[in-house]
């Protein structure tokens, strides 16, 4: 089973967490919120984060990408 949690969906920022119930792997779809907000929504736990998929380069979709890259997370852009 897959669950999708919306952290933000507006011109102020887009970010969704897609999670599998099988092994708990997570993927962020877009990272357009401030990094601190994403950390808070994820309860500062990125252990199961496999990567970030960014749909396009507008700020409301990729604002936190530099911070996620600094932590060593894989970021994929369409």
Sketch the domain layout of the chain as residue ranges. Answer: 2-77
Q: Is the pTM of this model over 0.95?
A: no
CA distances from 41 to 14, 34, 68 (A): 13, 11, 14
Read off the pLDDT of residues 14-72 as tens digits, 9 standing for 90 and up. 999 999 988 889 999 999 999 999 999 998 889 999 999 999 999 999 999 999 999 99
SS (H, E, C) 3-55: EEEEEEEECCEEEEEEEECCCCCEEEEEECCCHHHHHHHCCCCCCCEEEEEEC
- State how far the Cα of 51 lies from the Cα of 73, in Å rounded to an integer: 6
The superfamily CATH assigns to domain 2-77 is Ribonuclease Z/Hydroxyacylglutathione hydrolase-like (3.60.15.10)
The DSSP bridge partners found for residue 6 are: 16
């Amino acid at each position: 089973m897959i669950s999708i949690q919306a952290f933000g969906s507006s011109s102020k920022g887009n970010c969704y967490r897609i999670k599998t119930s099988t092994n708990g792997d997570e993927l962020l779809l877009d990272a357009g919120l401030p990094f601190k907000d994403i950390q808070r929504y994820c309860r500062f736990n990125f252990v199961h984060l496999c990567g970030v998929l960014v749909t396009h380069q507008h700020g409301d979709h990729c604002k936190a990408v530099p911070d996620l890259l600094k932590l060593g997370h894989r970021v994929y852009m369409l």
